[in-house]
Amino acid sequence: MKGNEKLVRKFFTDKRHITIDDCDQLLTAYGYELHKGGGSHRTYHKKGVHPVTVITPKKSKYVISPYINAIIRDLRLEE
């Protein structure tokens, strides 16, 4: 994922400023597809692994840290 190294680094160093677009970009780069985008929930699927759900923030443009931590865990991005 050379092209996404900067974004992956952002997930570790700047968790307070991760947007839903950042999540979408990273998940699609790792082969996930958005299957449900209605309402405030976005659910991404990839064959052979459990789905990842990210809730779109209502009063902020930034995703809260539990969802960021779940993405890090599910994509096995640990440094």
Give residue-wise pLDDT tens across range 23-49: 999 999 999 999 876 778 899 999 999
Q: Is the dihedral of CA 49, 9, 1, 40 positive or negative?
A: positive
pTM summary value: 0.87
H/E stretch holding 35: strand 33-36
Q: How far is CA 51 from CA 45, 58, 74, 78, in A?
A: 5, 22, 9, 19
Comparing 1 with 15, which gets the higher pLDDT? 15
CATH architecture for segment(s) 2-74: 2-Layer Sandwich (3.30)
User: Which pair of structure tokens corresponds to residue 14?
Assistant: 């700047």
Query: Can you state the percent helix, strand and coil of the chain, rounding each to 5?
Result: 45, 25, 30
